[in-house]
Every structure is written in structure tokens, then in C-alpha cells.
């Protein structure tokens, strides 16, 4: 489930007292568990109910049930509901990935599983947005409910994407005894890392381009929701201004005093935009911009060095803005105050040596780099840092952070240039697992010295990278770029039905056989799914949280 809580006019400035006076929002009430109530239909029956925390769930069970059931964890949704500006909060049961226009899970994919004799289940969770801790409890309870109702259950396969991918990984870390395997798709990173990614991007945009953005310290309740939507309108406006100024280098008129000083020194806004992407970890390739292709003519050199990376960062930020801002607002409500703190962040250290070199021209050279970074130091009163509330920080510190340990056979899939969950998230999992696997091999060899028999460890992690074409950018006759959607390997949860089927088939095979499939047949299936590769030599940078 992608974010569906904002309408296209979600970022219109809404702060009228009249609207406040008419809003009535019902909070979800927790109640005793209900169900499962089953309709008894054949060849597939449907069962519904609620868990003890009030989460609605659904189970779809074929008459040919073979003992394997999948449990789906859906993606990020907002807890903000402002009639006329956001869509109602969706807490309906989710069973599988959604296709275009779907809600609750793609019907073709659900049928694909039940035709195999595999049951499917999932909930809507009791709360939305960053709900990892709550979702873990719901999922553990739901597995118990299913096993009690369907006593021939043998294997449970967890899967999910986006926020649900993070939930699935955490579920496998905390409750491996409940699962036979897992399929983790473009997961959110650990709480500390994922939230830093979002807050850095939002703070940097605010600091340089529009200091009037509030970002933190929102009012309680609906008034704060309206403030957040007002911020959204400002972010959208400055992104529009940045896009219009890419060629000229013009800065938004709302820019800070420090930013205007940078502009006066001849530093173009596109360099600042690129710097924001590099400091926060946003990919410099996107659905429309490959950073290689050029429109030719006078721009043949400048385009890939300066323009394309900045425009890619802009497109990626636009794709993640709703998630980041709604998430920041939701966490402030959840933690009871300002939950982030950037007082000690050293942004200069977040610009890697590689990025300084590769993007030197796009950033305007060393003097320009130094000038931009100098405005982001904590001592600059024109760039006030975020100061967290002690109680809120303590509550945030108690949120679950992924360990990265692979405890059950797991298949992972992610796009190379997902703007919301960068490839570095799964790169970290892969790197950590390679360390564990090397240690397991060393231990097995040591044991063999005593026993005389070598028992090779079995790999528990298979990573499928959704890769982009070699080039994909296109240009109009006048040299202006063409907007492109659904480029493979770019965008958020941009997977095909064939790829989803491959992932869940791989996880089910691992559950039923005890091992991930590594045969030539599996590699053939990966090729047939198109756009995927298995590669253990990838080197995507980890999230910026780990660079400290």
C-alpha cells in the first residue's frame, strides 16, 4: 500500500478556522478480539475479524489448503485526515501488494496463491504511518489466530513492501520461531536511520529555501495537521521554483539570508539542490533522469555533470515529500513532542569523498562546496538546528531498530533508485549477512578439523536488485527533458506482477524446502521476470546515519 492519504491538492494552504470548526475525526477504539468469522464458501472461503488491538484482518483460505499461509504487511499510510484535503484513513485489511487502483491486494496475485493451495492473510493494523512496533504485535497475534482456526497449518511466510517490508524484516528478527521464510521488498531502514533520511532532507530544504516552514513544534490535533499541510504547500512551491530555476540557477524568493549570500557569490540553486540530495542520501538518478544521456548541442557536457543530477534529486524529493512530511508530523504526535534532534549533526561529514569528486562540477567546485557547507554549521544563527524534547526523544529511543540479522530464509528485492527506501538499506543487510556467512563458514571449517567432515553453511539471504536500463532519459526537439514514469529500477515499489510472483514463489519454496532456491532453474526464473539480477558484489552506499 503506497501512501494514499493525500489528494492532489493536499498541499494547498489550509488554515481556516471555519474548517477547524467543522472537523470531526473518530479515533480508532481498541476492543476485544473478534472472529474469525468465515463464510464457508468453496473453493475459497474468506474469514474476517479483529485482533485485540482493534486491527481488522482478513484470511482467504482455499479448500485445497496445503498448510502454507502468507501474512502480508502493507506500506505507509497517514494518520492525518482533513476532509477535503486528505483521504480518509485506510485501516482495511490488506492481503498482498496492490496494483493500480487496487486496495487490499491485487486480486490476480491473491488468486495465483490460492490456486496453489496457499492461504493468504493480513490486517490493516491499528495505527498507520510509522507503526512497526504495533504491527509486530498484530502480526504475531494474527499468526496465532490463524493456526488455531486452521490446525493443519505447517508453514508461515511473511512478506511486505515499504513500511511493510520493514515490518516483515523486524518480524523475522523478533519472532523467527513463527516463520518459515520471509520476502522483504524495499523496506524502510531502522528507525534511527530512516527518520534521519527524511528529517535531513526536510530540514535542508527549509533552511536554504524557505525558513518560514515550521517542520517541528506543530500544534496538537487538527490545528497541527493543518500546519503540516501548510508546510506541504510551501515545500511544493519551492520545488516548483527550483525546477523553474535549474537552467538559470535562480534561487527561490523565499530563500534564507545565508542562501541569498550564496546566490550573490554566483552559486546556482541547482548546486544547492544537488548538495541537499548528496547530504541526505537521495539518489542522483530517477525515473526521468539517468545522468548519462544528453540533449546534445551546447549542453552535451553540462547536462550530465550539473543539470541531470540536480533534476533527478528534485524528482526523487518530490516523490518522497508526502511520506517524509506526513511521517514527521505523525511521529511528533506519537512521541508527544519534537522527537528529532540535529544539534550535533555534522553535515560536512555526510558529503563523502567520492561525491565531492564525482559531483564536483555540479556542486560548483571546491570553493562552492566549502561555501555551502559553511552555512550549515550549528553555529550559524540563520540555520537553527532542531532541538528535541527530552521526553519525546526518550520515547523515540525506545522504538524498535532493525538489527539486520537474517534469522529465517529471506528473499529481498529493491530498486536501484527508490527515492523513499534507497538501495543502501538492503546493501547494509547484504553486507552484514556476508560477514555472518563468512563467520559461519570459518566455524564450519574449524569444526571439520575435529570431526573430519565439513558441513557447509546454507545461505539464508537472496537479494534481487531491480535494475534500470543502460540509459532511459528522453528529450524533446528543443532539448527539454521528457517526464518518464515507471522506469524499471527507479521510483517507489515499482515492481511488476511477474516480479511479485517470483519473490513470493521464492519465499514459499524456501519455506517448504527449508532452503532458498539457488539452482539454474531459479536463475532462469529471475531472467524471465525481467529487470532483476542476483548480485552479491553491489556497492551502494549505506544510509547517512551509519556514516557518523
- For the chain, domain boundaries: 17-189+402-547, 193-397
Q: What is d(CA 180, CA 512) in angstroms, rounded to the nearest whole number?
A: 8
Tell whether the torsion through CA atoms of 520, 526, 527 and 529 is positive or negative: positive
Instruction: Give the residue from 56, 4, 9, 10 showing the smallest Cα distance to 33.
Output: 56
Q: What is d(CA 46, CA 473) in angstroms, rounded to the nearest whole number?
A: 46
Grid cell in block for residue 139? 502480526
User: Are the C-beta atoms of 146 and 70 separated by less than 8 Å?
Assistant: no
User: Which residues are CB-contacts of 195 (< 8 A; sequence separation ≥ 6)?
Assistant: 130, 327, 328, 331, 339, 340, 396
17-189+402-547 CATH: 3.40.50.1820
Helices (H), 269-378: 269-280, 302, 308-335, 353-358, 360-363, 366-374
User: Are the C-beta atoms of 487 and 288 separated by less than 8 Å?
Assistant: yes
Axis crossing angle, helix 308-335 with helix 390-397, rounded to the nearest 10: 100
The three-point CA angle 43-49-53 to 5° equals: 150
Instruction: Return per-residue pLDDT of the chain as tens, 548 residues.
Output: 344 444 433 344 333 333 333 333 333 445 679 999 999 999 999 999 999 999 999 999 999 999 999 999 999 998 988 888 888 889 999 999 998 888 899 999 999 999 999 999 999 999 999 999 999 999 999 999 999 999 999 999 999 999 999 999 999 999 999 999 999 999 999 999 999 999 999 999 999 999 999 999 999 999 999 999 999 999 999 999 999 999 999 999 999 999 999 999 999 999 999 999 999 999 999 999 999 999 988 778 889 999 999 999 999 999 999 999 999 999 999 999 999 999 999 999 999 999 999 999 999 999 999 999 999 999 999 999 999 999 999 999 999 999 999 999 999 999 999 999 999 999 999 999 999 999 999 999 999 998 989 999 999 999 999 999 999 999 999 999 999 999 999 999 999 999 999 999 999 999 999 999 999 999 999 999 999 999 989 999 999 999 86
DSSP string, 304-321: IIIIHHHHHHHHHHHHHH
What's the whole-model pTM score? 0.94
Strand 181-187's sheet: what is its strand order? 34-38, 44-50, 56-62, 119-123, 68-73, 155-162, 181-187, 410-415, 461-466, 532-534
Q: What is d(CA 454, CA 79) in angstroms, rounded to the nearest whole number?
A: 53
Grid cell in block for residue 197? 533520511
Helix then strand count (H, E) for the chain reads 17, 10
Q: What is d(CA 61, CA 237) in angstroms, rounded to the nearest whole number?
A: 48
Amino acid at each position: 500500500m503506497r501512501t494514499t492519504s493525500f489528494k492532489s491538492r493536499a498541499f494547498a494552504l489550509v488554515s481556516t478556522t471555519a474548517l477547524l470548526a467543522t472537523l470531526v475525526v473518530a479515533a480508532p477504539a481498541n476492543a476485544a478480539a473478534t472472529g474469525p468469522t468465515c463464510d464457508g464458501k468453496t473453493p475459497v472461503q474468506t474469514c474476517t475479524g479483529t485482533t485485540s488491538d482493534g486491527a481488522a484482518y482478513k484470511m482467504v483460505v482455499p479448500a485445497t489448503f496445503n498448510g502454507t499461509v502468507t501474512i502480508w504487511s502493507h506500506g505507509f499510510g497517514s494518520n492525518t485526515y482533513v476532509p477535503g484535503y486528505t483521504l480518509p484513513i485506510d485501516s482495511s485489511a490488506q492481503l498482498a501488494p496492490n496494483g493500480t487502483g487496487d486496495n487490499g491486494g491485487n486480486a490476480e496475485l491473491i488468486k495465483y496463491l490460492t490456486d496453489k493451495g496457499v492461504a493468504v492473510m493480513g490486517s490493516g493494523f491499528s495505527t498507520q504511518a510509522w507503526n512497526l512496533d504495533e504491527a509486530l504485535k498484530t502480526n504475531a497475534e494474527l499468526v496465532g489466530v490463524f493456526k488455531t482456526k486452521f490446525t493443519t497449518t505447517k508453514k508461515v511466510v511473511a512478506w511486505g513492501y515499504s513500511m511493510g517490508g520493514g515490518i516483515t524484516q523486524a518480524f523475522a528478527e523478533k519472532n523467527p520461531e513463527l516463520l518459515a521464510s520471509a520476502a522483504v521488498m524495499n523496506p524502510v531502514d531502522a528507525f534511527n536511520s530512516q527518520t534521519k533520511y527524511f528529517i535531513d532532507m526536510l530540514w535542508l530544504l527549509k533552511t536554504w529555501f524557505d525558513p518560514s516552514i515550521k517542520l517541528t513544534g506543530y500544534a496538537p490535533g487538527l490545528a497541527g495537521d493543518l500546519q503540516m499541510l501548510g508546510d506541504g504547500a510551501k515545500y511544493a512551491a519551492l520545488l516548483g521554483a527550483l525546477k523553474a530555476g535549474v537552467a538559470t540557477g535562480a534561487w527561490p524568493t523565499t530563500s534564507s539570508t545565508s542562501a541569498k549570500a550564496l546566490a550573490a557569490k554566483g552559486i546556482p540553486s541547482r548546486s544547492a539542490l544537488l548538495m541537499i540530495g548528496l547530504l541526505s542520501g537521495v539518489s542522483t538518478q530517477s525515473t526521468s533522469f539517468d545522468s548519462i544521456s544528453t540533449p546534445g548541442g551546447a549542453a552535451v557536457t553540462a547536462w550530465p555533470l550539473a543539470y541531470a543530477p540536480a533534476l533527478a534529486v528534485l524528482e526523487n524529493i518530490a516523490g518522497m515529500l508526502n511520506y517524509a512530511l506526513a511521517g514527521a508530523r505523525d511521529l511528533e504526535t506519537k512521541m508527544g513532542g519534537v522527537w528529532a534532534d540535529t544539534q550535533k549533526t555534522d553535515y560536512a561529514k555526510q558529503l563523502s569523498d567520492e561525491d565531492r569528486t564525482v559531483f564536483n562540477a555540479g556542486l560548483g567546485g571546491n570553493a562552492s562546496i566549502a561555501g555551502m557547507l559553511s552555512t550549515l554549521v550549528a553555529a550559524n544563527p540563520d540555520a537553527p538546528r532542531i532541538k528535541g524534547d527530552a521526553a519525546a526523544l526518550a520515547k523515540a529511543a525506545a522504538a524498535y531498530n532493525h538489527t539486520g540479522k537474517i534469522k529465517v530464509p529471506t528473499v529481498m528485492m529493491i530498486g536501484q533508485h527508490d527515492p523513499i527506501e534507497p538501495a543502501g538499506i538492503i546493501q547494509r543487510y547484504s553486507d552484514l549477512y556476508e560477514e555472518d556467512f563468512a563467520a559461519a563458514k570459518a566455524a564450519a571449517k574449524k569444526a571439520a578439523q575435529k570431526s573430519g567432515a565439513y558441513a557447509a553453511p546454507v545461505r539464508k539471504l537472496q537479494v534481487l536488485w531491480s535494475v534500470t536500463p543502460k540509459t532511459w532519459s528522453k528529450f524533446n526537439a528543443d532539448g527539454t527533458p521528457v517526464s518518464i514514469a515507471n522506469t524499471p529500477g527507479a521510483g517507489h515499489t515499482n515492481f511488476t506482477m511477474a516480479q511479485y510472483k517470483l519473490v513470493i514463489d521464492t519465499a514459499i519454496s524456501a519455506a517448504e524446502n527449508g532452503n532458498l532456491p539457488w539452482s539454474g532453474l531459479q536463475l532462469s526464473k529471475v531472467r524471465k521476470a525481467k529487470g532483476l539480477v542476483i548480485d552479491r558484489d553491489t556497492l551502494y552506499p549505506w544510509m547517512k546515519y551509519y556514516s557518523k
